[in-house]
Amino acid sequence: MHNRLFISGTLLLIAIVVSSCFFPSFEREKIPSGPKIGIVEIFGIIEDSKNTLKHLKKFANDTDVKGILVRVDSPGGTVGPTQEIYGEIRKISSKKKVYVSIGNVAASGGYYIASAGEKIFANPGSITGSIGVIMQTVNIEQLVKLMKVDVKTIKSGKFKDIGTPFKEMTEEEREMLYGVTKDIHEQFIEDIAKARRLEIDKVREIADGRIITGRAARELGLVDVIGSIEDATDTLWKDLMLTGEPQTIYPRKQTPSFMRELLESMSDDIEERLGLKKRGFSFWFLSPYDTNIE
């Protein structure tokens, strides 16, 4: 079994090298030089920060990009990637202007990221807020018993299987997880207060998971301007003391070849067989709400 996996992995590595030579990605044409605003989009649930950080750093180091506009349309996501993006925006803001435009929703982790911007724009009906942390587990102990499945657990410490769906959570486990949740929640509050220059007690008053509109957020000091992405772009262009029509640039998108997509699929399958992909529980900055007008 392991020999077959080793051979498969070796063949995959060879195929990747070959494909990189004969199946290159295609990028958009080179954009003319001159002052521009770099636009970084953050859409959907935040589970990874790699691409967003790469785009932010590229624009931060591009001398033609005079300022960055981050467009956020996200209900939030996992804690680590959210904090990494927040931290990178704060770091870049020390040398370049970074404004934020909120689309339909920038709640929980979406707002965490948005708060790092120097100036935040939102539509009056945008959904934001939801300052809180959530973690959920399920208990299928009775279902497992009904199916007459015997689950054996071998662990090195009493908390090692915390959050498992195969047994009822103990009060001690619940208290420990609540303590972690409170700590992360406090980090959320502190970072917003610091970035928005608000009194921490004022932030704490509304950090109970509630959602608010862009208009209400403006009154509470969580948003600076009621306006669209075009308003944000125009304002940033003017604040950069640039003339003429605003020029914007988006990160170049690579179009993967069929061969590359096939190889990635094979790679995922091998990782699954080797047991390299494991799922656990996570803490989330996530809002359960989404809004649509029909």
For residue 73, what is the domain's CATH number? 3.90.226.10
**Boundaries of domain holding 153:** 2-286
The tally of domains found in the chain comes to 1
DSSP code of 32?
Answer: P
d(CA 259, CA 39): 30
Catalytic annotation, pick one of 54, 57, 145, 160: 160
Evaluate whether residue 294 is within a structural domain: no
pLDDT band at 288 (very low <50, low <70, confident <90, very high): low
Cα distances (Å, whole numbers) of residue 51 to 47, 100, 184, 201, 271: 11, 18, 24, 34, 22
Q: Distance from CA of residue 39 to its chain's centroid? A: 16
- Give the pTM: 0.79
Q: Take residue 159 and report the two structure tokens written for it.
A: 């908390």
User: What are the pLDDT digits (tens) for 117-175?
Assistant: 999 999 999 999 999 999 888 889 888 888 888 888 898 998 888 888 888 999 999 99
Whether 108 is catalytic is yes
**Mean of per-residue pLDDT scores for the chain:** 84
* From 49, 74, 101, 108, active-site residue: 108
Residue pair 239/96 in contact (Cβ under 8 Å)? The answer is: no
Domain-located, residue 291: no
Q: What is the pLDDT of residues 208-243, one digit of tens each?
A: 999 999 999 999 999 999 999 999 999 999 999 999
